[in-house]
Structure 1
Amino acid sequence: MCQYLPKQSTMREWWVQVGLLCIPLMAVYVHMPPPKLSFAVRRWQHAGKTFTFRGNKIFYIDTPGTLGNTDIVLLLHGYPASSYDWSKIWHQLTQHFIRVIALDFLGFGLSDKPLPHNYSIFEQASVVEALVVELGLANQRINLVAHDYGDTVALELVYRRDQNRTGHLNIKSLCLSNGGLFPEVNYPRLLQRLLKDSTYLAPVLLRIGNYMFFNNGMREVFGPYTKPTNAELWNMWVSIRYNDGHLVLDSLLQYINQRIKHRERWVGALTTTSVPLHLIYGPMDPVNPHPEFIELYKKLVKRSTVTVLNEYIGHYPQLEDPIGFLAAYLKFIHSF
């Protein structure tokens, strides 16, 4: 057996050398500057403005539309993206509404991303209310369109509206899309579960994560024939990395636990409100799968109308099928 000791010792020395080399390389990687904003996202940024909410800058974009119309639409994006999610239907919306507005929630996109910070759905709803006041729209009736994370923010706004809690947002209608409205039929991705629940692992994962992991993970939630292009995913990635946003992803993900804790409040608001409701749903969504999600929605939310898009549309219907999404939404708006 002694004849193998030199070889084992050499192998141990080799692994030690590799480990010592990896430490400075990892340090360099972790401290690499974020990628520059893409041309498309910079153009989006230049079209928008910021306002201050509790000491933090919130990015928003407010585009005038058709003067003959009096309706205003406000769009609420999902996790982990930004208002740029609505870019594929933005111009078309301006042809049907007098104003088209979207914001980046605190911690997302081009808004500030304070760390440490206890991000919550309640705070994001207050951000939306503050924007409405900032724009002088507190007395205007506003149509809300929401996706994913934005769905839950919208339900908190509906709850406040119905309970006369703040009165800053007069909701004319609400259109939801592919959000985890019901925790019992919502299945977060593995990485999301690790980030939201692992106190020690999450900081490591956030710092070593890169565009390759992001690219692979995002493609999983799109339909098989509607995968985003590399340029589209890069637009998402640079928006996340802006202001070191990748370091707050675990804090933002606490919304999943908040959905569970406050299910009665938000599902209750959804099932009892008098606000006109519509759901646009991509059925090939692994996070809110068909038919579980849609069957429960129809069972509990009887006042809502529903559009189920092509069977191959996934979690991002406004990006995967912008024409179908827009047609469904305008049909809903014209119905009342």
Structure 2
Amino acid sequence: MPLAEIPLCVWRKRSRSFVFRGQPIRYWTAGQGEPLLLIHGFPTASWDWHYLWQPLAQRYRVIACDMLGFGDSAKPHKHTYSLLEQADLQQALLANVQAEQPLHIIAHDYGDSVAQELLARHYEGRIEVASCVFLNGGLFPETHRPVLMQKLLLGPLGWIIGRAFSRDALVKSFRQIFGPKTGPSESELDDFWSLIESNHGPRIMHKLISYIPERRLQRDRWVTAMQRDEIPLRVIDGEFDPISGAHMVARYRELIPNADTVLLPGIGHYPQTEAPVQVLKHYLEFRERLVLPPRKVAYS
């Protein structure tokens, strides 16, 4: 049975706002119980989770924001964007909504890197993470295969490429990374573009793309955190994804002890919108068999 979508216009009306380092951030929260933080990817926003939002809110307290530079949050032009700052933002959001720890996380794409930073901080005693599920993302720089647009944004003319980014360019990029039968509709593409275009988003895309080299700098610290094998982890991955598909999962199985992975055949880079029923099924299965250790903070 398909999951009901939340139209973007409704999603936007349900948002709230708080200020992070002088910048307005849009966020959402619903449900009760254990906190579940949803962290979106590049270049989209928290509306990516709209199919899963209500089913998860029936079981947990779900929390999400449009990160700095994304969606309907502030997109300051004269700003150096960083995954580490985005992790700071997530912690500020949790404090703002008074979410008690330990914290469960579902992350996607760019958000995977933010979640990896939060895992590393768990072992440094700076946050308490109970579990983490990764959807398609560059968990290992050596397996990340950026699309042409990302490569161009990283180049010396990235600022020009970003400013020229259009709905047509988004459609071209998305056609490369979605599954052959699960691509977004024209209406969904309009909504994705609306979130990217909001607050003059294209003019900072070349700044946001700095996450790719930043991943390389943090690679060992983040992979070491995942290898500790003290926090339950699972990867739910669209196999067809050319960026972080089956080849990334193969590397994950090589490097991570007791690797818990699920591959979704025919699904691309956005499993939460391409196959939300499957993602929900595999996430709830993960949580149902989850046995939490005694509440404590582990230190490195």
Same fold, TM-score > 0.5, yes or no: yes
Alignment counterpart, residue 79 of structure 2, candidates 117, 124, 128: 117
Alpha-carbon distance in structure 1 between the residues aligned to 2:67 and 2:30 = 18
Higher radius of gyration, 1 or 2: 1
The equivalences for 1:185-224 within 5 A come to: 185-198=143-156, 201-224=157-180
| 1:266 paired residue number | 222
| 2:98 paired residue number | 136
What's the CA shift for 1:235?
0.7
| 1:43 paired residue number | 10
What do the CA deviations read for 1:226-282 (whole angstroms, capped 9, x no partner)? 011011111110101100011111111100000112211111111125111011011
What's the CA shift for 1:123?
0.2
What residue identity is the alignment partner of 2:254?
K
Q: Which runs of 5+ in 1 are unaligned?
A: 1-38
Preserved contact between residue 185 and residue 289 of structure 1 (Cα < 8 Å): no
Q: SS where residue 52 of structure 2 aligns?
A: helix
| 1:326 paired residue number | 280
What's the CA shift for 1:152?
0.5
What residue identity is the alignment partner of 1:82?
A
Preserved contact between residue 188 and residue 287 of structure 1 (Cα < 8 Å): yes
Q: SS where residue 240 of structure 2 aligns?
A: coil
What residue identity is the alignment partner of 1:125?
A
Paired positions, count: 285
Alignment counterpart, residue 269 of structure 2, candidates 294, 312, 315: 315
What residue identity is the alignment partner of 2:131?
S
| 2:257 paired residue number | 302
Alignment counterpart, residue 103 of structure 1, candidates 59, 65, 69: 65
Preserved contact between residue 41 and residue 239 of structure 1 (Cα < 8 Å): no
Alpha-carbon distance in structure 1 between the residues aligned to 2:38 and 2:222 = 19
Q: Percent identity?
A: 38
TM-score, structure 1 as length reference:
0.82
Q: Is 1:59 aligned with 2:26?
A: yes
What's the CA shift for 1:163?
1.2
Alpha-carbon distance in structure 2 between the residues aligned to 1:86 and 1:118 = 26
What's the CA shift for 1:64?
2.1
Alpha-carbon distance in structure 2 between the residues aligned to 1:250 and 1:152 = 18
Q: SS where residue 75 of structure 1 aligns?
A: strand
Q: Which runs of 5+ in 2 are unaligned?
A: 1-5, 291-300
Alpha-carbon distance in structure 1 between the residues aligned to 2:52 and 2:194 = 21
Alignment counterpart, residue 38 of structure 2, candidates 57, 63, 75: 75
Q: SS where residue 7 of structure 2 aligns?
A: helix
Alpha-carbon distance in structure 2 between the residues aligned to 1:188 and 1:107 = 20
What residue identity is the alignment partner of 2:154?
K
What's the CA shift for 1:206?
2.1
Alpha-carbon distance in structure 2 between the residues aligned to 1:327 and 1:286 = 24
Alpha-carbon distance in structure 2 between the residues aligned to 1:40 and 1:289 = 28
More helix by share: 1
